[in-house]
Structure 1
């Protein structure tokens, strides 16, 4: 029986490779992001999401050695597919080809193409017998990447300073307008990883000045990680992140939340420790981490001491003596002006944490305990505001949690409950299930107290942080056949205490539906509609109103999208999107129309787009994900009236060297100035140019 399957699949493999060109070592980020993030918005940490996606891509899952937890972490397979995968392996043994996946119930070609970048059947475990230095020096997955980009127009911050009436000069940026970024990495999946990332933002000065803690590039991240060293599952030094449970304590992995994928993204996976390779200057540990495995139990220890940018001020205590306190942490990572430089590395953050996790023999039950103790070099004392009186204060915080995950056939139950030093609780419990071969269902309930404090959490929530929120989410996905797909979610949430821009307890809801039609391999059409209802202060839009009066703002977004592959080399993409916002009996609107033309000729690729947009105000800004150079992202907020276009070119010079170049421009027809403050551009256009190269060693 097995031999018959192999014969059939060899023929099928040959047919697939000739019917459609697909590159195993590349990923269509645009399509994946648009499926996971149904509506792009500016409060998402896309850089961290991209880094999480990069980690999954560079560390593919070995299909013959994987477990359900790993397969859930890529947010592509539903419960029925995961259960079918392991039932198939139980009946027929290990897979012999990636394309053998099509023989598994629930796996179609579209699903297989989605997961190919994140899985492998290649087993290079024999290299582990070689000395570490030899493995590192011969590793094929080694590269150096350099990127330079800048806005071609001159911002006010780069102009000569003005002289004020008191004789002082106005503030200006100290550095040049170039953004420089470089990454070096050598890694072998499940064996080792080492590298560094350096970054200089526009306006930052390239200078060696120990007094201001600036050493050329303004940011340096580095790591060295070993995997599977006997009973040590992970050993890491330098910068790293952690994810265990549902993200209440440790939530730094690739996480999505609400999107057009309404089922798989509600759950977080316990992926453990992973290197940090991004350029964001917060949200990671710097020190040592280790995971020790004994039978069914894994124990992880984290020790970290990292500098943080912060505003440290002197205040008088009860004895009228000066005491230094932290009034805020600066998360921008920018050091362009003397004020921003004064914030650099003013705070020391120490972390000591751990995790103990039990997984039963058949991998269906997972239980875990998280703990994290955080201490700052000074007391944290915020500038008092009516909305932040329950936020964290003091020099230290500790948080503990219990979590579980249980798989029963096509049903996945999961949850986590945590308590912080303040006594505030945070809890998440959910269900992800396949009710049949063609229909999936998900549900998630969460509750975060107003005084629940977690610094490295990233749980499912409506807010950007899991605090001051209660809600329930319901998701459904129906696939009557391979051509049609309908997904929908509804999320009801409450904010029991006041928050920024909402000075009274409030509530709201959000729902989204997407209908997808794929008449052929070359054509994809989808319609999407979303409604969001949230309250906020009326006084922001009308003068002489009470700060505590709220109005429920309702926003409707719609998208119509067509992707068409003309032939093996050319493809087009057309999109119409718009919005309508109703707040305090005032209705505003906005829309954008875009057209893409893409060419792919193996060694070189060109992607182009033209967008026309018009919005009444900022509430109707339109977001469209754009293609960019490798491992960079662009999601501009289009507001006002105008047009935007870009051209992206990629050329593979040789097996080792690939170069990218991108030119983008936004032209406004309703203004003669762009931006504000030191970011102001005189004129109605903004142009950005990007150049990037990647050199791959041992190719």
Structure 2
């Protein structure tokens, strides 16, 4: 432990504090890292990362940008998108990106964050009616290949006698110990998108005799925009979001701490599904037609999915991890057919928007989860139906938005928000939701504390303000009641979620931030000396202090201190600490890279801490750690040509207080784990 900690402290001491700053735009990747720490769904994080990366590689021309393009942009709130569009309507043509600083109520931080996603081009869109020859000649092709491998031996890849495998066939993975993916995409401006995805996870067979299809997962999408009255036509894999998400949202869901002024959602045009996530998307067709003030969306999906089945063939739960490594996992691969159909009618006039949505889904097997007290009101049928009406109304600085929906059993859920910006330095958000225990909506994903839009009542209050010119504060409080039992909670329960972030900006490239998070919930707890259990409250406190600095030479230094404190009533407290340093280089040469070193000491999993290290382009990896140890990671990108680049990352974790890492087939017999990630990107 001592050499690792001493090395880290020496690195911190060498960080420069007196070199003139460069002026570079903000890094959206830092926000995605923040979301990952909020324990968002991993597939949602990957979808968001991939979409932002695609937008960064294909920026939008501000002189031809439509309201829909701005509203679909994930980093803009409804108010921000509306303000930018109205500014562009009055001031086109604009001549530099920095004219966005003149947009009313748009702060400098947001402007710098979105600069990489836009450019200033010609006012007229000469490609409004492209010819096939223009598309083929001027389109942009992109080929991506990724290869990851854990260098340390894991139990699932060991050698076992045939007698053991006959008795325990799921002790050994059937495939190779590496991850591989291949993706090709084609894009012509904002008119045409097409892509193909192929992927295998580590442990899944790859071109073996019994698995001749090669990769475990394949995907395809084709999107064509602006075909007369048809705004969008989609074939293949896609994602959708209607209203506030009470009926349908398999797009990513922004966490509470992303922005207190960005909690209201809106109906979005269909988006491609190009990530390697094997769950959470539709496969079929969708189309959007526009008639004056109306936009009509219709869609149909038909695909096979993974499910856990009971002895009588009923679905007990859906398998969403996409892993097919052992005979047990392979036996669940695409064993159920899912069909989904639905639509949305959206009316917009001036500042008023009203939408009506509906969705119907069915399975070729009965959904019948094993009966427990907490899931007594869950759906048990072959199909279900949901419908809703949503609304939003915008005034200068003020937004009302909400949605009310119902399920086939008559249960009604509702969510309503109010956002008010007093000035450019103060904003306020209020959100109330009521999700009955009997409301079943499998494709809903809305603002919530739980994982489902069910069994929850809550009131969220958030604010952002600048008490001083260089100091900003983001804070929220969320008070939640769960009226019915939950998994591992045998009584109705409550939750409190508090968040406070203060940022002091020394200059445009140097800042210090302090963050505090508090979450109190309840759970079943077994008493050590009794054969009984009780529902007891527990609380988690998380603290962070971070300093970040960019230098003119291209170097970046980010120093972070994290602490976690977990306390369950009547039991001893559990604590975690992490001290980390990231050093990055983004100079003008062909080679860029990052070095990351962290020391951690966390008593248990409940006090775990996250590694905020830089990852390869188009890959997202943010591990959490508990125990005592250190983490070291190096990443580098080399631009072979302007259009061809190769990236590699090496990560190594060493523990000081354990002899094994992981469990089951992922068990490592030792104190160390090493991983290698590589990525090749060719644009032509």
SS of residue matched to 1:111: helix
Select which of 597, 600, 603 maps to 1:610.
597
Deviating more after overlay: 570-579 vs 456-465: 456-465
SS at match of 1:125: coil
SS at match of 1:479: strand
RMSD of aligned C-alpha atoms?
2.5
Distance in 2 separating the partners of 1:622 and 1:217:
34
The alignment status of 1:515 with 2:484, answered yes or no, reads no
Change (3 A) 1:359 1:557: same
User: 2:11: which partner in 1?
Assistant: none
User: Residue 648 of structure 2 aligns to a residue in which SS?
Assistant: strand
Instruction: String of CA shifts for 1:544-563, please: whole Å, max 9, x gaps.
Output: 4435x211101100000000
The residue correspondences of 1:453-472 to structure 2 (distance < 5 A) are 453-472=440-459
> In 2, Cα distance between the equivalents of 1:368 and 1:203?
45
Alignment-derived partner of residue 574 in structure 2: 588
1:330 partnered with 2:319: yes
The reply on whether 1:342 has 2:328 as its aligned counterpart is no
Correspondent of 1:215 among 205, 213, 216: 213
Alignment partner of 1:290 out of 287, 290, 293: 287
* Superimposed CA distance per residue, residues 266-311 of structure 1 (whole angstroms, 9 cap, x where no aligned partner): 1223222111111111111111111111111111111110110113
Whole-angstrom CA distance in 2 between matches of 1:165 and 1:173: 14
Quote the residue 1:565 is aligned against. 550
Question: C-alpha displacement at 1:686, in angstroms?
Answer: 0.7
For these two proteins, the number of residue pairs brought into alignment is: 661
Q: 1:43 to 1:301 in 2, by over 3 A?
A: closer
Output the CA distance in 2 between the equivalents of 1:447 and 1:154: 48
1:309 aligns with 2:306: yes
C-alpha distance in 1 between matches for 2:583 and 2:41: 26
Deviation at 1:178, TM superposition (A): 0.7
Q: Tell me whether 110-119 or 508-517 shows the greater mean CA deviation.
A: 110-119
* 2:180 maps to 1:201: no
> Residues of 1 paired with 2:458 and 2:629: CA distance?
39
Q: 1:253 aligns with which of 244, 251, 254?
A: 251
> What are the ranges of 5 or more consecutive residues in structure 2 without an aligned counterpart?
1-19
What is the deviation of 1:502? 1.1
Aligned-pair CA distance for 1:35:
5.5
Determine the structure 2 residue equivalent to 1:14. none
Q: 1:413 aligns with which of 400, 414, 437?
A: 400
Q: State the SS of the aligned residue for 1:601.
A: coil
Partner SS, residue 127 of structure 2: helix
Greater shift in the superposed pair: 676-685 or 449-458 = 449-458
SS at match of 2:578: strand
Q: Which moved more, 1:650-659 or 1:75-84?
A: 75-84
Contact preservation (8 Å) 2:21, 2:509: no
Matched residue, 1:637: 624
2:674 to 676, 684, 687: 687
The answer to whether structure 1 residue 130 and structure 2 residue 130 are counterparts is: yes
Going from structure 1 to structure 2, the CA distance change for 1:136 and 1:242 (only over 3 Å counts) comes to farther
Per-residue Cα deviation, 1:245-284 (whole angstroms, up to 9, x for no partner): 11112213343121152222x1223222111111111111
Residues 47, 273 of structure 2: 8 Å contact kept: no
* Residue number in structure 1 paired with 2:4: none
Structure 1's unaligned 5+ residue stretches are 1-17, 316-323
Please give the alpha-carbon distance, in whole angstroms, between the structure 1 residues aligned to 2:94 and 2:165: 77
Shift of 1:67: 6.0
Question: For the residues of structure 1 that align with 2:581 and 2:611, how far apart are their CA atoms?
Answer: 11
Q: How far off is 1:53 after superposition?
A: 3.1
Question: SS state of the match for residue 390, structure 1?
Answer: coil
Structure 2 contact 22–550 (Cα < 8 Å) conserved: no
Q: Which residue of 2 is the match for residue 104 of structure 1?
A: 103
3-state secondary structure, aligned to 1:207: coil
Q: Does 1:575 align with 2:560?
A: yes
Instruction: Supply the distance in 1 between the matched residues of 2:561 and 2:440 (Cα, whole angstroms).
Output: 41
Deviations for 1:97-124, whole angstroms, at most 9, x for unmatched residues? 2111223344454332211123343358
Structure 1: how far apart are the matches of 2:566 and 2:485?
23
TM-score, normalised on structure 2?
0.91
Q: 1:635: how far off?
A: 1.2
* Whole-Å separation in 1 of the counterparts to 2:242 and 2:484: 28
Paired residues of 1:476 and 1:489 also in contact (CA < 8 A): yes
User: Equivalent of 1:271, from 253, 268, 276?
Assistant: 268
Once the two structures are overlaid, the 10-residue window that deviates more, 254-263 or 82-91, is 82-91
Matches within 5 A, 1:172-191: 172-191=172-191
